[in-house]
Structure 1
Amino acid sequence: MAPTHVLRCCQRGLAWIPVIFIALVVCWSYYAYVVELCIFTIPSIGEQTIRYCDRCQVIKPDRCHHCSACDMCVLKMDHHCPWVNNCVGFSNYKFFILFLAYSLVYCLFIAATVLQYFIKFWTNELPDTHAKFHVLFLFFVAAMFCISILSLFSYHLWLVGKNRSTIEAFRAPVFRTGSDKNGFSLGFRKNIAQVFGDQKKYWLLPVFTSQGDGLTFPARLVSADAEQATVTLHPEPNKSAAEVPASPLNDSQNRLLSNDQHANNITEHLANNTLKSDENETITISMESES
């Protein structure tokens, strides 16, 4: 009797599992729809705002993000890599790409050199020894890592050509004119120089040659503000006084100048022109008389 009673209690307890599951799903859906969607989803108003990290209690520059795994803000954060147990950002992004390149070359070398022994073991041309398992397993591992690293390496080379990070590829940065994934793109060559530097001889060497300081980055967007438009359309420096003669008409632009002074300036200007014309005529007459 006792085992039967315990079994029935267990069955009744298990029967409540779907009910509890449905209740949890309803509670979660309410939280996701009401709290997260309606309360914490705030439209971004990025007009001259300052990005601030509540966890680190510091101001976040552009392209800086907080890593929950490292519990710190990372400049130009790309992603958190569990294979190196570190964040990939401005200070080590070039080294991460070189790490992928070196690993790809290593896997290709292992797969290429083991391929002939793999074929011989697979066709039973070599004796069946303990080395067979190691050679077969080594080739499969090298080929698997080669394919995965090649895809990851190609993707990050594409990001370098676009001057984007992995975070910016999924979530476009917001500028004053709106969100734009290509906001930091300066052209293919300049984008590569942003990560690898200007000197090509250092591109494949594990030395830091990235441009900038990680705090500010050049952008291709031009704001249409009145202040920036004034700076952009700033006139060229005035020429020297020797190149541009002073004109009385310029004095008339001064609002404090009286009409009498303006008339006197015009009279003097006409008198000077008359004297010059008289001198030219005198010279012409004297030359004709001598001839």
Structure 2
Amino acid sequence: MRNIRRLFLRCLRLGHRRKWTKVNLLTDYVRYCRLCLVSLAYNSFTDSDVVIESLFEPVYWLVDHVTRWFGIQAQKHVPSVSVCRKCIAPKPARTHHCSICNRCILKMDHHCPWLNNCVGHYNHRYFFSFCLFMTMGCIYCSISSRVMFRDAYAAIEKFKHQEKERLKFAGNETIYSQTPPPTFTFRERVFHKCIIYLWVLCSSVALALGALTLWHAMLITRGETSIERHINKKERKRLLAMGKVFYNPYSYGRGGNWRLFFGVQTKLHWISRVLLPSSHSAYGDGLTWKPPSWIPTKQTSVLAI
């Protein structure tokens, strides 16, 4: 009887253990699946704003298509070609929404982190002038101080050689009649190193900022912005596949684009508005883009973007 009772108790314990073992295995399996899901879906850049914006994607899609069906309505006499999906407001031509400034920028070129502001219709000329004159100044400093740079570099190399000679004399204790070579003072070493640092800095800024200036000069010549460069490139490829030719509707020729960019109406303006500081505002209001009377244009057929 006792043996039967013990056997019965053992069976109950084994069943209890097996039951909890299956529950533990299921729990481990659920935890493992959760870990895999979190590892695959985790994104350090995701926050509440990104989630809310993703949830509003259907609303953006609805607004975009409804406005296409019923047409664009002008608001407060603002001509527009589309509706901004972020501002939910009419968006004029060549206008783009800046996610950093959280607003639409007229003729937006890019958001400059060094200026902490967008480069657009009203300050594009100032930005380009700053890059141009800064590059010219750095090139002038690099060329004019090249002799000082060579002398400072030779002095630093001479100092290193004399430092090695001094260590040799200090390590050889048998020589007392010879004196170690003189060394540079701390002020002289700092002076030569500062000259080398300034020359390298000016040369580096001249190369980097010069490349940026050439890039913007090319865009101004073509009558484009940095954003429109990518848009027009895609549109040009799409029309080329269809056997058509793309024409930039905002280009008025190379000379006309430069004159419109700087606001040059007369020959004297090349000096008073380009070479000398000028506070004149950009041409137009940034809402409509019609060629001014002082820019000859022969373009008849254009393709709107």
Shorter-chain TM-score range: 0.5 to 0.7
Identity %: 26
| Alignment match, 2:151 | 120
Contact preservation (8 Å) 1:98, 1:204: no
1:194 to 260, 276, 279: 260
For residue 112 of structure 1, report the CA deviation from its aligned partner: 2.3
Alignment of 1:171 with 2:231, yes or no, is: yes
Q: Secondary structure at the match of 2:194?
A: helix
Instruction: Give the superposition deviation at 1:194.
Output: 1.5
Provide the rounded CA distance (Å) in 2 between the counterparts of 1:76 and 1:187. 18
Q: Is residue 124 of structure 2 the alignment partner of residue 93 of structure 1?
A: yes
CA contact (8 A) 1:196 1:210 kept: yes
2:176 matched to which residue of 1? none
Q: Deviations over 1:184-233 (max 9, x none)?
A: 11111111111112232212233235322211113846369xxxxxxxxx
* Mapped partners of 1:186, 1:89: distance in 2: 19
- In structure 1, the partner of 2:288 is 216
> Is the Cα contact below 8 Å between 1:64 and 1:76 reproduced in 2?
yes
Q: Of 144, 154, 162, which residue of structure 1 is paired with 2:204? A: 144
Match of 1:156 in 2: 216
Amino acid at match of 1:160: I
Does residue 185 of the first structure (1) align with residue 248 of the second (2)?
Answer: no
Is there any run of 5+ residues in structure 1 with no aligned partner, and where?
A: 1-12, 29-35, 225-291
CA distance in 1, matches of 2:41, 2:91: 40
DSSP 3-state at the match of 1:160: helix
Q: How many residues align?
A: 202
CA contact (8 A) 2:135 2:209 kept: yes
Q: 1:241 aligns to what?
A: none
What is the aligned partner in structure 2 of residue 133 from structure 1? 193
Deviation of the 1:129 alpha carbon: 1.7
CA distance in 2, matches of 1:77, 1:183: 16
Aligned CA distance change for structure 1 residues 23 and 100 (closer, same or farther; 3 Å): closer
Task: Write the distance in 2 (CA, Å) between the matches of 1:99 and 1:215.
Answer: 25
| Runs of 4 or more above 6 Å deviation | 16-19, 42-48
SS of residue paired to 1:87: strand
Per the alignment, residue 277 of structure 2 pairs with 206
Specify the SS of the correspondent of 1:129.
Answer: helix
Q: 1:54 to 1:112 in 2, by over 3 A?
A: same
Q: Tell whether the 8 Å contact from 1:75 to 1:215 is kept in structure 2 after alignment.
A: yes
Asked whether the equivalents of residues 196 and 209 of structure 1 are also in contact (C-alpha less than 8 Å), the reply is no
Q: Partners of 2:69 and 2:252 in 1: how far apart? A: 22
Name the structure 1 match of 2:98. Answer: 67
Distance 1:167 1:190 in 2: 21
Secondary structure (helix, strand or coil) at the match of 2:94 reads coil
In 2, distance between residues paired with 1:159 and 1:63?
14
Superposed CA offset, 1:235-287 (max 9, x none):
xxxxxxxxxxxxxxxxxxxxxxxxxxxxxxxxxxxxxxxxxxxxxxxxxxxxx
TM-score normalized by the length of structure 1: 0.57
Aligned residue identity for 2:301: V
Q: CA deviation at 1:174?
A: 7.2
The equivalent residue for 1:31 is none
- In structure 2, the gaps of 5 or more residues are 1-30, 47-56, 73-80, 160-183, 292-298
Q: 1:69 to 1:19 in 2, by over 3 A?
A: closer
1:61/1:215 contact within 8 Å kept: yes
Cα RMSD between the aligned structures? 4.1
The amino acid that maps onto 1:129 is: R
* C-alpha contact (below 8 Å) 1:161/1:188 kept by paired residues: yes
Distance 1:116 1:159 in 2: 36
* Cα 1:48–1:157 shift into 2, 3 Å: farther
Q: Match of 1:66, SS? A: strand
Name the residue aligned to 2:3. Answer: none
Aligned-residue offset at 1:132 = 1.8
Note the C-alpha offset of 1:109.
2.6
